[in-house]
Amino acid sequence: MSPYTSFALDAWSARQLGAVEHALQRWVAPPEPVPAPAGLGDAMRYAVLDGGKRLRPLLVMAACEAVDGNPAAALRVACAVELIHAYSLVHDDMPCMDNDVLRRGKPTVHVKFGQAQALLAGDALQALAFELLTPDDGSVDPAVQATLCRMLAQAAGHQGMAGGQAIDLASVGRALTSEQLHDMHRLKTGALLQASVMMGASCGVAPAAARDALRDYGAAVGLAFQVVDDILDVTADSATLGKTAGKDAAQDKPTFVSLMGLTASRNYAQELLSQAHHSLKASELGHIDALSALADMLVNRNT
Amino acid sequence: MSPYTSFALDAWSARQLGAVEHALQRWVAPPEPVPAPAGLGDAMRYAVLDGGKRLRPLLVMAACEAVDGNPAAALRVACAVELIHAYSLVHDDMPCMDNDVLRRGKPTVHVKFGQAQALLAGDALQALAFELLTPDDGSVDPAVQATLCRMLAQAAGHQGMAGGQAIDLASVGRALTSEQLHDMHRLKTGALLQASVMMGASCGVAPAAARDALRDYGAAVGLAFQVVDDILDVTADSATLGKTAGKDAAQDKPTFVSLMGLTASRNYAQELLSQAHHSLKASELGHIDALSALADMLVNRNT
């Protein structure tokens, strides 16, 4: 049991997500005053709006809160990491990758708009993420903007998310060692989740030791997230998940469950959760309630 | 005849490109010390190295020179814009887009590495462009980094290159008006060419009037580049171009040649070249020889 269960995560999340959804509506290729050309904006908005758990934005906002950071900067970061996540799903779902037709309970972008438009929408969402991080309205210190762009680029690129997806591709039908599986997930999903925490923290100032502790928290939470994802892939149904369940096994993809079994995977997720709580405590930061409750929620979710 | 023909463009270009090629070799997913996972680095390097005219990097270096800017910053910008260009070609060549098998005289990335790896390599190259713009080694002022990221994101995104490609997709087999054709190319190729000039200029300081003039130069050169591309598509052969000639006509794509005819297109290219020279003169900047000679070369090239 977490020591922070008295924190009202639902109310906190609802407040944060209200701001994030409003910002996404306003910033993602809005139809007014000048729509993106040739339906591209529609595909971009479809990929991002009205769906998803928004875990990464919540981690950003919680980490910013932990360091008493600039909320205006954090809101931009929250949207930027969500755009990177959304673009990766659009491309990952395409026929040449996972070839999935269902996402968040809706047809995937390439099913709805065609493959070419899906490819472009993903590309444009990645560019937009960096555009959101670099406003010239005085709301975010330019040096912070540069740091945020660097962190996001590293997390999204070949030594981050894209690299993890390349390992994922190469691993289909092959047995991976525990170390290889960890490496894959550290990059594929872990890098962006950890970056969400660290970018949120970069919206304020924290001692080096606190930043190190947050980095450990981000690594533990990022890995736990994937372990739970693998568990849910075999224990939940498609309607609950809003995406195709059982597809890892169907595609013969290595997972934590296939490697260590269901019970050991569940124990591992709880162990990672303990590590996350330990790191938060070690950070000696003041406002860690939201980060703590988010870790609990990530591990104990059922969708 | 340009008033700057005494400038030794070949020697200047060779010097700049030596630095750019060396930097790309060093910065694009180098195999040492830690290679990008699962062959992703190979696909990224194949897409970027040993090929291409490097027009965008040359425009960056020339614009930086025009404002006596920071050459270390310009070298990063030169590589970043080339990575964006290279990723766009990788994605554009894929079967769901232009379905092209030949590029720069070699098999396209998806032919060589498979579609999934091509998709990921393009994604990772876009991220790497922003990583190159945001070094934390003190070589580029952080405020300049933020400005450069903003300019690149805008030029690459839905109101820039990606938007232009969406118009291109939607235009196949349709008659476009002259205004629609201009809009498409202003975004599809013009935005990144113009950004190359303006980002190069942002590596230094220039009066607002000079920046406006450089923006006009970039717009004229960007458009002229596309007009000449359309001319070469019907007048050159594949071996000379290093890519499939005549494909616009084969795919029933609207071009300047199909809209206005070959002679009028050639006249238009020369008219745009005159505009470019006029803008350079209006900039009142000191070192415009390279920018001037590049404009001549872009319009009078035969590949």
Tens digits of residue pLDDT in A21-67 = 999 999 999 999 889 999 999 999 999 997 789 999 999 999 999 99
Angle at B26 between CA B25 and CA B32, to 5 degrees: 105
Query: Given pLDDT bands bounded at 50, 70 and 90, which one contains residue A5?
Result: low
Give the span between the Cα atoms of B302 and B24, in whole angstroms.
Answer: 26
A123 to B120: CB separation less than 8 angstroms, yes or no = no
Gap from B146 CA to chain A (nearest CA, Å): 5
Q: Does B139 touch chain A (CB under 8 A)?
A: no
- The strand pairing partners of B161, in sequence order, are none
**Cα A284 to Cα A209, A213, A280, B203, distances in angstroms:** 9, 9, 7, 41
DSSP A286: S
Residues 6+ apart with CB under 8 A from A88: A122, A156, A161, A165, A192, B123
Residues 6+ apart with CB under 8 A from A124: A29, A36, A40, A44, B157, B158, B162, B163
Assembly ipTM = 0.95
Q: Does A42 touch chain B (CB under 8 A)?
A: no
Residues 6+ apart with CB under 8 A from A265: A227, A230, A231, A256, A257
> What is the pTM (predicted TM-score) of this model?
0.95
Least reliable range by pLDDT among A287-291, B49-53, B189-193: B49-53
Q: Does B157 touch chain A (CB under 8 A)?
A: yes
Gap from B113 CA to chain A (nearest CA, Å): 12
Q: Does B94 touch chain A (CB under 8 A)?
A: yes
Least reliable range by pLDDT among B72-86, B101-115, B228-242, B274-288: B228-242
B157 to A131: CB separation less than 8 angstroms, yes or no = yes
| Closest listed residue to residue A199, CA positions, set A303, A25, A64 | A64
Position B31 in a domain? yes
Q: Does B274 touch chain A (CB under 8 A)?
A: no
Position B4 in a domain? no
H-assigned helices in B236-288 = 238-241, 247-250, 256-260, 262-283
Position A252 in a domain? yes
Averaged over B199-215, what is the pLDDT? 98
DSSP string of B37-96, one letter each residue? GGGHHHHHHHHHSS-S--HHHHHHHHHHHHTT--HHHHHHHHHHHHHHHHHHHHHHTSTT
Position A91 in a domain? yes
Range of the domain at A143: 9-300
Query: Given pLDDT bands bounded at 50, 70 and 90, which one contains residue B1?
Result: very low
| A102 backbone dihedrals φ, ψ, rounded to 5° | -125, 130
Give the span between the Cα atoms of A82 and A294, in whole angstroms.
Answer: 16
- The mean pLDDT of chain A is 93
- Contact (Cβ atoms closer than 8 angstroms) between residue B40 and residue B117: yes
Nearest CB to B169; choose among A34, A116, A146: A116
Chain A residue whose CA is closest to B120: A162
| Closest listed residue to residue A290, CA positions, set A42, A58, A74, A33 | A58
pLDDT at residue B105, rounded to an integer: 87
**Cα B134 to Cα A162, B73, B143, distances in angstroms:** 19, 10, 10
Domain count within chain B: 1
Is residue A298 over pLDDT 60? Answer: yes
Nearest CB to B96; choose among A119, A147, A163: A119
Give the position of tokens 């690594």.
A219
Selected residues 52-91 of chain A with any CB under 8 Å from a CB in chain B: 87-88, 91
Is residue A244 over pLDDT 90? Answer: no
Domain with residue A176: its CATH number is 1.10.600.10
Give the span between the Cα atoms of A200 and A214, in whole angstroms.
Answer: 10
Averaged over A256-268, what is the pLDDT? 95
Position B107 in a domain? yes
Q: Does B117 touch chain A (CB under 8 A)?
A: yes
Nearest CB to A150; choose among B36, B120, B136: B136
- Contact (Cβ atoms closer than 8 angstroms) between residue A152 and residue B130: yes
Percent of chain B's residues with pLDDT above 90? 83
Tens digits of residue pLDDT in B65-112 = 999 999 999 999 999 999 999 999 999 999 999 999 999 889 999 999
Long-range CB contacts (< 8 A, 24+ apart) of B108-111?
Answer: B109/B43, B109/B46, B109/B47
Q: Does B13 touch chain A (CB under 8 A)?
A: no
B147 to A150: CB separation less than 8 angstroms, yes or no = no
What SS3 state is found at A10?
Answer: helix
Task: List chain B residues with CB under 8 Å of A131.
Answer: 150, 153-154, 157
Position B1 in a domain? no
Residues 6+ apart with CB under 8 A from A294: A9, A55, A58, A59, A62, A221
Position A3 in a domain? no
Least reliable range by pLDDT among A273-282, B5-14, B239-248: B239-248
- A-to-B residue pairs, Cβ atoms closer than 8 angstroms: 193
As given in the structure block, the two tokens for residue B82 are 């080339």
A97 to B91: CB separation less than 8 angstroms, yes or no = no
Gap from B225 CA to chain A (nearest CA, Å): 22
Nearest CB to A123; choose among B39, B128, B162: B162
- The strand pairing partners of B106, in sequence order, are B103
Q: Does A137 touch chain B (CB under 8 A)?
A: no
Position A85 in a domain? yes
Gap from A170 CA to chain B (nearest CA, Å): 6
Selected residues 218-237 of chain A with any CB under 8 Å from a CB in chain B: none
Is residue A211 over pLDDT 90? Answer: yes
Task: List chain A residues with CB under 8 Å of B187.
Answer: 37
